[in-house]
Amino acid sequence: MENSERKDGNHHEVPLRGGRSTSDVVRIGPCVHRPTAPNSPFVHDLLLHLERVGFDGSPRFRGFDTGGREILSFIAGDMGTGAPPGAWSDVVLADAAGLLRRLHDATAGSPLTGTEETVCHNDFAPWNTVFRAGRPVAVIDFDDAGPGPRVRDLAYAAWCWLALGRASFGVAAQARRVGLLGEAYGMTPDRNLLDALELRQREILAKHQAARRTDAVVRVTGEIDWFRVHRGEFRRRLGIMGA
């Protein structure tokens, strides 16, 4: 979402809103200028790789401006922040899972993965997704990207896109939607997915606790408790054997 303009030399800087973790992000013409972060060198290599292999669902890295900010191509569209949590249609969820699969396939087997399966986005959620005509077409904000297993991103996507523990859906409906995400991605939900979901929840909770974000700690704690209570029913409805 674009906000008010300000003049910077001969250029208009348009502050951008959408992602949750980066401030001072502006658009200048066809490009986005963002502050760098500790993980930026890896992210730049990743974006260059995605461009080389023809993945069209991510920004392009275009170097640095005179202020040391990274320059990325601007992807036109709407951010997925307007819908109520968990209210995405089956079509949108399938599109999101397909986008994630294409991202993972584009990096699997590359030097960027190290010994892992792929490169995980690590925040693949509606607020980091660009929509056109109501359908997800691209993902932004790769600040937390790094090597990892595919299931890590898929589990986090299930938590965020379905708003597990917050949305007013019954467990049966949510389990069906977890199955839908898995089918659209091409991964049958199993115990590893449930384990990965709980692990990501605990990791995010620890970040909020360290940053003393009281409201977020309360919210995530509630979501963790909800999932633990209903994990057995998820397992049964998804046909997952074992604990």
Domain 78-238 has CATH 3.30.70.141: no
Find residue 165's DSSP bridge partners: none
Q: Nearest CA to 158 among 191, 208, 194?
A: 194
**Residues β-bridged to residue 118:** 148
As a whole-number percent, the residues of the chain with pLDDT over 90 amount to 83
pLDDT tens digit sequence for 123-178: 999 999 999 999 999 999 999 999 999 999 999 999 999 999 987 788 999 999 99
pLDDT score of 11 = 65
pLDDT in tens, 192-231: 999 999 999 999 999 999 999 999 999 999 999 999 999 9
8 Å CB contact between 72 and 61? yes
Residue 229: Cβ-neighbour burial (10 angstroms; 0-12, 13-18, 19+): exposed
Dihedral sign, CA of 219, 90, 54, 30? negative
8 Å CB contact between 216 and 208: yes
In Å, what is the CA distance from 54 to each residue of 57, 60, 106, 107?
Answer: 9, 11, 8, 11
5 pLDDT higher than 50: no
Q: Which two tokens stand for residue 3?
A: 């906000």
Closest to 175 in 3D by CA, of 98, 236, 93, 94? 236
DSSP character at residue 134: T
Residue 143 near residue 116 (C-beta atoms within 8 A): no
Asked if 121 and 139 touch (Cβ cutoff 8 Å), the reply is yes
Q: Dihedral (C-alpha) 41, 46, 49, 51: value to the nearest 10 degrees? A: -100
SS3 225: helix
Sign of CA dihedral 37, 38, 39, 43: positive
Q: Where are the domains of the chain?
A: 6-73, 78-238
pLDDT score of 103 more than 50: yes
Q: What per-residue confidence (pLDDT) applies to 15? A: 85
Question: So what's the pLDDT on residue 24?
Answer: 83
The 10s digit of each residue's pLDDT in 13-51 is: 888 765 545 568 899 999 999 999 999 999 999 999 999
**In the chain, pLDDT over 70 holds for what percent of residues?**
91
List of E strands, 143-204: 146-148
Q: Where are the beta strands (DSSP E) in 135-214?
A: 135-139, 146-148
Say whether pLDDT at 187 is over 80.
yes
Quote the CA–CA distance of 55 and 99 in Å, as a whole number.
10
